[in-house]
Amino acid sequence: MPKPHTTARKMTHSTAPERERAYLVGVQRTDDRDRWRGDASLEELSLLAETAGADVVGRSLQRLDSPNPATYIGKGKLDEIVKLRSRSADDGGGYTMVLFDDELSPSQQQTLEKALDVKVLDRTALILDIFAMRARTKEGRLQVDLAQTEYLLPRLKGQWSHLERLSGASGAPGAIGVRGPGETQIETDRRLARNKITHLKKQIEEVRKQRSLYRRRREREGIPVVALVGYTNAGKSTLMRALTRDTDVYVENKLFATLDPLTRRVYLDETHPALLTDTVGFIQKLPTQLVAAFRATLEELTDATLLLHVVDITHPDAAHQSQTVENTLRELGLAGKPTITVLNKVDQIPDADGRLPRSLEELQSFQSSLTENLPDAVLISADRAWGLDLLRQRIVQSLDLAAVPV
């Protein structure tokens, strides 16, 4: 959701819903083996919150051996955050929701909501919300709907727990009245949710069959598929745009700008057509429900002859981000695919005096060691269309190699 312009916001103040004021909470594990720094993760949560249309008013990171099973953060920290709410907005107070940087268990969420007395959301729910907002195609919507329903199913209980407790107090097991109205409601809700899941899965299966028909047709045509993969906001869609010169490709400086895969035919040179596919970006702590729900879409990747792994080389966490992408690819069984690493946004790498390069050649004159550890990587600026000729050549080489009969 685009951020409303401040004046527009004022003008529509009386009718527009108030923007949520979000307070962010994360836990940094003391034994953090994968070195994902807690503050970087919170920073990402803040971008997610903004993308979802909330204003971030404050944040708190607690170092713990492991999250508290009951309240995720420690009791003292929780009290601190409760007190903060009555403080002034400048002081991080006045929040209308609290966002947690990990997936909370249903009972943690319930406990926290009670203690904080505001809406409590976790990273998973937030990502699901953004996906729901961004899904354009029927398939995308079905997949997000499935992921959301699966996320909600074990949490339905929370909403009705007060009724359930009442019914529990009303008699011995089996006695009349044990199944109070609340309990019935939970059961109904759960049954409806489960039915919905079954139904959605069937519909997704239909779409999947349709897709495999397209794929078979494509195979018959013998055009290789090149898929763009990478962390969210790395510049995949910008590269897709640059290579296809298609301005319909959606680019935005927000997380998960692209949700639905988009395929376009490109000519790499006179004799090499290819189908280029733009895909949903990956993110650290990607909800498992989403990976599962998007399997049908990500199957496009299974089909690809070649992957282009786009990395935003200017991001402070570039190394960690590309590790996350590689892990996700492994989870999807795609680790062995031929891959070209594409280091993007090199137009933003300053020289020693802080000046930005005016061309790729100029950049390479003062930054000769950028690909030292990745000799096969290709440097580009998708935005400025730098380095695309070499990239096309490298794609052709890889495709030719892949086409050699075994």
Ligand X SMILES: Nc1nc2c(ncn2[C@@H]2O[C@H](COP(=O)(O)OP(=O)(O)OP(=O)(O)O)[C@@H](O)[C@H]2O)c(=O)[nH]1
For residue 140, give both structure tokens.
Answer: 């995308």
Task: State which of residues 108, 109, 124, 238 lies at the interface with ligand X (CB under 6 A).
Answer: 238
Instruction: Give the HSE-up count for residue 91: Cα atoms under 13 Å, Cβ half-sphere.
Output: 10
Are 385 and 242 within 8 A, CB to CB? Answer: yes
Parallel/antiparallel/unpaired status of strands 272-278 and 262-269: antiparallel
Residue span binding ligand X (CB under 6 A) among the ranges 22-30, 96-104, 227-235, 301-309: 227-235
For residue 341, give both structure tokens.
Answer: 């690493």
Residues that bind ligand X (rule: CB under 6 A) add up to a total of 23
Query: Which residues 228-247 are close enough to bind Mg ion by CB under 5 A?
Result: 236-237
Q: Which SS3 state, helix, strand or coil, does residue 249 take?
A: coil
Task: State which of residues 383, 388, 393, 396 lies at the interface with ligand X (CB under 6 A).
Answer: 383
Task: State which of residues 52, 56, 130, 234 lies at the interface with ligand X (CB under 6 A).
Answer: 234
CA 406 – CA 397 distance, rounded (Å): 17
Task: State which of residues 251, 291, 318, 370 lies at the interface with ligand X (CB under 6 A).
Answer: 251
Q: Report DSSP state, residue 294.
A: T
Is 347 a residue that touches ligand X (CB under 6 A)?
Answer: yes
In angstroms, what is the minimal distance from the CB of 257 to ligand X?
4
Task: State which of residues 62, 149, 232, 297 lies at the interface with ligand X (CB under 6 A).
Answer: 232
Interaction partner, residue 84 (ligand X, Mg ion, none; CB < 5-8 Å by kind): none
167 versus 322: smaller Cβ distance to ligand X: 322
Task: State which of residues 72, 95, 160, 256 lies at the interface with ligand X (CB under 6 A).
Answer: 256
102 versus 260: smaller Cβ distance to Mg ion: 260
21 versus 236: smaller Cβ distance to Mg ion: 236
Is 258 a residue that touches Mg ion (CB under 5 A)?
Answer: yes
Distant-in-sequence, close-in-space partners of 153: CB < 8 Å, separation ≥ 6: 190, 193, 194, 197
In angstroms, what is the minimal distance from the CB of 378 to ligand X?
13
Instruction: Find the farthest-apart pair of alpha carbons in the chain and give their distance in angstroms, rounded.
Output: 83
The H or E element spanning position 209 is: helix 181-221
Q: Report DSSP state, residue 369.
A: T
Task: Classify residue 278 as exposed, middle or buried by CB count within 10 Å of its CB (0-12, 13-18, 19+).
Answer: buried
Binding residues for Mg ion (CB under 5 A): 236-237, 257-258
Binding residues for ligand X (CB under 6 A): 230, 232-238, 251-253, 255-258, 281, 344-345, 347-348, 381-383
